[in-house]
Amino acid sequence: MALALVLNSGSSSIKFQLVNPENHATDEPFASGLVEQIGEPIGRIVLKVEGEKHVLEAPIPDHSAGLKLAFDLMDQHNCGPSQVDIVAVGHRVVHGGILFSAPELITDEIVEMIRDLIPLAPLHNPANIDGIEVARKILPDVPHVAVFDTGFFHSLPPAAALYAINSEVAAEYGVRRYGFHGTSHEYVSQRTAEILEKPAIDLNIITCHLGNGASMAAVEGGRAVDTSMGMTPLAGLVMGTRTGDIDPGVVFHLARNAGMSIDEIDNLMNKKSGVKGLSGVNDFRELRQMIDEGDQDAWSAYNVYIHQLRRYLGSYMIALGRVDVIVFTAGVGENAQFVREDALAGLEMYGIKVDPERNALPNEGPRLISTDDSKIKVYVIPTNEELAIARYAVKFAKA
């Protein structure tokens, strides 16, 4: 079986999966794992294969050591590079700036271009490059492919991509909307066209990727025309721990009056805000339980979350003019039926009617959750970014 290795390298972790590109989105990968606490005195590698979990604890000084140890652990459990047929490696790269609109076969030149984009993603791109460099050394004979989180939004029209900030400053520092979660928005919008057996060009779709990070996109005839994340993934919807849209004046206010440094405000807005900042928890299962127990902060956090989602929904309905399908995906979007119900409640006059029984179906695959007479169809389509990356990577192996 031809497999793709998919790597998602963070600053102190590497997520990896061995994926059969023929899989369905809800299928388990052939193997998966996580290298974590890289650079700390003791690191940890978890490997899941054939329903079993294997854990290794050892010092992992850097990404290179982490990936080598992960491969050793895979070897011990019969899924190492010498035992399985890895035909390509797909690397998730967070920021492709305005340089990359589509996945790229990685060469030294491409690595340098990704390096040039570090100022736009100072935490993510260096880690992505580490992962690429290590994996290319360990697996030199297969194609390595970079898949950019921003790529799908390369098509944003200027009206949606530009910020109303001084254009010289914007040009010099790359200040504009790039959008993120592109692999997921593209994947679920393409799946929608397949399920409806219609060409993508004939469909206008609003995609809602609601996970711990969350974003929405307006997709017109297969092309993204707007999205809620911005120059960074901090913008847009209220998220698990991120503010989403907030008056930029708050930054100046906190710097001047709370004596907070830029790094402290960055940390506050990315890690201690959003649903967690308002309620104390970021997992929607816990949030729901707290609401059911009468917790006022949880209720208020939930309402702020839903209100913001509906704001974006309304603005994308106007931007697209005609909407054929609304799609929910990712952890919250696939599993939290109450979020879908509340996000679309009372919109019958806009042609949106959710069927409560369909909305309550378990998350076992793509499903229609609107009524048969709903003008706009509503779907839940499980996303699988690793599978999408694996498929891109394998295309290069075949080419």
> 26 or 107, CB closer to ligand AMP?
26
Among 20, 23, 64, 212, binds ligand AMP (CB under 6 A): 212
CA atoms of 218 and 206, how far apart (whole Å): 5
> 21 or 333, CB closer to ligand AMP?
333
Asked if 188 is part of the footprint of ligand AMP (rule: CB under 6 A), the reply reads no
CA atoms of 1 and 15, how far apart (whole Å): 22
Q: What angle do CA 89, 95, 101 make, to 5 degrees?
A: 80
Please identify every residue annotated as catalytic. 149
Sheet holding 52-58, edge to edge: 52-58, 43-49, 31-36, 14-19, 2-9, 85-93, 144-148, 104-105
CA atoms of 38 and 28, how far apart (whole Å): 26
Asked if 34 is part of the footprint of ligand AMP (rule: CB under 6 A), the reply reads no
Shortest spacing between CB 37 and ligand AMP, in angstroms: 20
Q: Under rule CB under 6 A, which residues in 274-293 are in contact with ligand AMP? A: 282-285
79 neighbors 31 (Cβ within 8 angstroms): yes
> 151 or 213, CB closer to ligand AMP?
213
Shortest spacing between CB 192 and ligand AMP, in angstroms: 18
Asked if 331 is part of the footprint of ligand AMP (rule: CB under 6 A), the reply reads yes
> 106 or 390, CB closer to ligand AMP?
390
Asked if 241 is part of the footprint of ligand AMP (rule: CB under 6 A), the reply reads no
> 15 or 223, CB closer to ligand AMP?
15
Q: Tell me, by CB under 6 A, how many residues bind ligand AMP.
A: 12
CA atoms of 220 and 224, how far apart (whole Å): 6
With CB atoms as reference, the residue minimizing the distance to ligand AMP is 331
266 neighbors 252 (Cβ within 8 angstroms): no
3 neighbors 82 (Cβ within 8 angstroms): no
Of 75, 27, 20, 29, whose CA–CA distance to 50 is shortest?
29
Among 332, 344, 387, 389, binds ligand AMP (CB under 6 A): 332
Stretch that binds ligand AMP, among 30-38, 75-83, 307-315, 324-332 (CB under 6 A): 324-332
Residue tagged 């969350």 (tokens): 214
Stretch that binds ligand AMP, among 44-52, 144-152, 185-193, 330-338 (CB under 6 A): 330-338
Any known ligand binding at 284? yes
Residue type for 261, please? S
Q: What letter does residue 117 receive in the DSSP assignment?
A: T
Q: Give binding residues for Mg(2+) as ranges.
A: 8, 385
Task: List residues binding ligand AMP (CB under 6 A).
Answer: 211-212, 240, 282-285, 330-332, 335-336
